[in-house]
Amino acid sequence: MAELLSNLIFIFQRLNWLSVIDILLVTLIFYGLLYLLRDTQAMVLLRGVLLLFVLTALLTSLVNLPAFSFLISTALPALLFSIPVIFAPEIRRALERIGRAGTFLPARPHSSAEEMALTIQAIVSAAARLSARQHGALIVMQRMDNLDEYVRTGVIMNSKVTPELLLQVFYPNTPLHDGAVIVDNSRLVAGACVLPLSASGILAHSPERQMGLRHRAALGISEVSDAIALVVSEQTGAISIAHSGRMIRRLDVERLENILNAFYGADLRAGKQNVFKRFFPYLFPRKEE
């Protein structure tokens, strides 16, 4: 204990203002990386890599294992080179978010609060009517992450969002009903879009078996972006929402509207915040309205 205290005192004695800045910069970088990877599949993979690294370090330092140490020292460079390949989607998302955080103004124009409220009402009304008729639907609401690569897989519409338009798009056996529509701000950008399917296995372990490709696609787009995916089941008419790799099922109309208003109310407030508030939200608690 005495030796530990003496080492700590020695470290603090050597600290100066440059050392403090250096430590703060490293801390902020790690905070930013963990914040960008939160609620993604990469976080699980990162935990596994860190656990493997810690166990390897303990084994090589506490026990004399020459062959194992040689294997680890040889394989470590290859592991470091494989990180960009393994984390490629997350790195891309992180760079996009850093690019948006680097500007004090939003990267793209946002609809006003009144327009977003009308859009949400139109989507909720359409979801309720589709649910009553048991017409399957998949509506993706874009937020900050760009979805142009998925828009290009569908049919460009660029129309105002109305309940009647959504009902017509998802009417059975129409040309656009098989796929997703993507809504950006208050515009329906494209229909019949192809989305990535989730590989997380969450739906496979569900006690219910009515969740098919629409639900997998909703989870998939929520895993690779911050978009909100709304699903209406063709078998049961149940309404679900997917976000950040999680799904909330069996929503009624009132709860659906409250969730969408909560998401987009936060987005409208975030669009008025500066770069520090957007990138470090926990340092700036939201004021009660």
Residues 135-191 have pLDDT tens digits of 999 999 998 888 988 999 999 999 999 999 999 999 998 988 889 999 998 899 999
Q: Answer for the pair 164, 240: CB distance below 8 angstroms, yes or no.
A: no
Does residue 108 lie within any of the structural domains? no
Sequence length of the chain is 289
163: tokens are 């309940």
Query: How many whole angstroms separate alpha carbon 103 and alpha carbon 286?
Result: 21
204: tokens are 């496979």
Number of domains in the chain: 2
- Which of 75, 101, 127 is the endpoint of a domain? 101
- Which of 101, 135, 166 is the endpoint of a domain? 101
Q: Which residues contact 274 (CB under 8 A, 6 or more apart)?
A: 104
pLDDT value at residue 266? 57
Query: How many whole angstroms separate alpha carbon 20 and alpha carbon 22?
Result: 5
Q: Answer for the pair 166, 191: CB distance below 8 angstroms, yes or no.
A: no
Query: How many whole angstroms separate alpha carbon 104 and alpha carbon 151?
Result: 27
Same domain, 262 and 127: yes
Match 């690569």 to its residue by tokens: 149
Does residue 285 lie within any of the structural domains? no
Does residue 279 lie within any of the structural domains? no
Give me the domain span that covers residue 133.
Answer: 113-271
Does residue 186 lie within any of the structural domains? yes
Does residue 281 lie within any of the structural domains? no
Same domain, 129 and 222: yes
228: domain CATH number is 3.40.1700.10
Query: How many whole angstroms separate alpha carbon 151 and alpha carbon 79?
Result: 35
Does residue 287 lie within any of the structural domains? no
Say which residue, 184 or 60, is predicted with more confidence.
184
Same domain, 125 and 83: no
- Which of 59, 77, 101 is the endpoint of a domain? 101
Q: Answer for the pair 164, 253: CB distance below 8 angstroms, yes or no.
A: no
Same domain, 124 and 257: yes
Model confidence at 288, pLDDT cuts 50, 70, 90, reads very low
Same domain, 51 and 136: no
Does residue 182 lie within any of the structural domains? yes
pLDDT tens digits for range 8-54 = 777 777 777 888 888 889 888 878 777 766 655 566 667 777 787 77
Query: How many whole angstroms separate alpha carbon 130 and alpha carbon 127?
Result: 5
Same domain, 95 and 117: no
Q: Answer for the pair 252, 244: CB distance below 8 angstroms, yes or no.
A: no
Same domain, 155 and 19: no
Query: How many whole angstroms separate alpha carbon 235 and alpha carbon 147?
Result: 28
Detail the DSSP E strand segments found in the chain: 137-142, 155-160, 180-184, 187-193, 228-232, 239-243, 246-248
Same domain, 130 and 253: yes
Query: How many whole angstroms separate alpha carbon 178 and alpha carbon 136?
Result: 9
